[in-house]
């Protein structure tokens, strides 16, 4: 990923927070038959420095992954930015559309696992992460045990042992404060939840 210096995120705590905010990930590998990708939620295990998830047993990804380094792409808040939102545009018109976004690329060694207890632990942890805060949080134990056992036999676990991370935050840091404010206001006028989320993220990081 191309990361100009103003957009680079290098602080481990900030990167950890970005990984924690991400939801759906894209796992990309390159094997003998070329590139292959799977979209899946992943859990960040901070103690082991790994990302954990699972795929359907019918998914051919384990066979196609090969032995090379794997890549996980996390896409966070993103939004189109209109030049009309920059006050500086009124001066000389020298502005063009762009896209604001945050993304994290994680590289590492990929492993697949089928241990029943490890898979059940993963399902519980993933479920708890995404159900936390809901009025009536669902748990794996709410489903019939025989049904859960059947589902466990239908999935394969995936573990990415992280070896390097590249994180990017392109939210107008290279722009004047008035232009950053103009973009935030422009996004806040949108009815699209993604634009509103991007505006809130810009506000939260304002100097």
Cβ contacts of 42 within 8 Å, gap of 6 or more: 22, 25, 27, 51, 52, 53, 72, 160
Tell me the C-alpha distance between 14 and 2, whole Å: 19
**pLDDT tens, position by position, 27-77:** 999 999 999 999 999 999 999 999 999 999 999 999 999 999 999 999 999
> Is the predicted pLDDT of residue 200 greater than 90, yes or no?
yes
Say if residue 25's pLDDT is above 80: yes
Q: Give the predicted TM-score (pTM) of the model.
A: 0.93
Residue 61 corresponds to which tokens in the numbers above?
Answer: 């990804």
**Angle of helix 193-204 versus helix 177-188 axis, rounded to 10:** 150
């Amino acid at each position: 990923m191309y990361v100009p210096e103003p957009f680079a995120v290098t602080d481990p705590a900030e990167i950890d927070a970005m990984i924690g905010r991400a939801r759906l990930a894209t796992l990309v590998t390159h094997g003998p038959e070329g590139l292959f990708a799977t979209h899946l939620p992943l859990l960040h295990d901070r103690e082991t420095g790994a990302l954990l998830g699972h795929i359907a047993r019918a998914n051919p990804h384990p066979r196609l992954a090969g032995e090379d380094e794997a890549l996980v792409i996390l896409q966070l808040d993103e939004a189109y930015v209109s030049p009309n939102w920059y006050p500086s545009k009124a001066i000389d018109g020298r502005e063009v559309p762009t896209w604001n976004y945050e993304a994290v690329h994680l590289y590492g060694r990929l492993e697949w696992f089928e241990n029943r207890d490890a898979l059940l632990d993963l399902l519980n942890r993933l479920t708890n992460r995404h159900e936390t805060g809901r009025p009536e949080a669902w748990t794996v134990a709410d489903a019939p045990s025989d049904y859960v056992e059947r589902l466990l036999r239908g999935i394969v676990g995936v573990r990415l042992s992280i070896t390097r991370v590249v994180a990017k935050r392109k939210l107008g840091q290279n722009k004047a404060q008035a232009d950053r404010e103009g973009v935030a206001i422009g996004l806040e006028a949108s009815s699209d939840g993604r634009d509103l989320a991007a505006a809130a993220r810009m506000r939260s990081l304002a100097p």
